[in-house]
Amino acid sequence: MPCHRRTLPLLLLLATAATGCSSTRGEQVPAGETAECATYRSMMTAPMEPTAMKQLRDACNASNRR
């Protein structure tokens, strides 16, 4: 029994810290950014073929012209 008295407060403290430190906010998108540009921006560092990256960039540019 004495073991439970010590571990319960520790578990509550750890659970509170984990909950308080977790982030529920997603990546913030700049105001006025289109969905196509958000996709392009999120994929800029992904290992992709140059043609696929160009298609994403072109879609972003086209969405800005609308």
CB contact at 8 A, 38 and 29: yes
Residue 46 falls inside a structural domain: yes
Specify if 20 maps to a domain.
Answer: no
| Domain-located, residue 40 | yes
Q: pTM above the 0.75 mark?
A: no
Tell me if 14 is assigned to some domain.
no
CA nearest 36: which of 11, 15, 60, 1?
A: 60
Where in the sequence is the domain holding 64, given as residue range(s)?
32-66
**CA angle, 38 then 41 then 47, to 5°:** 130
Summarised one tens digit per residue, pLDDT across range 1-59 is 456 677 777 777 777 766 666 655 666 667 788 999 999 999 998 899 999 999 999 99
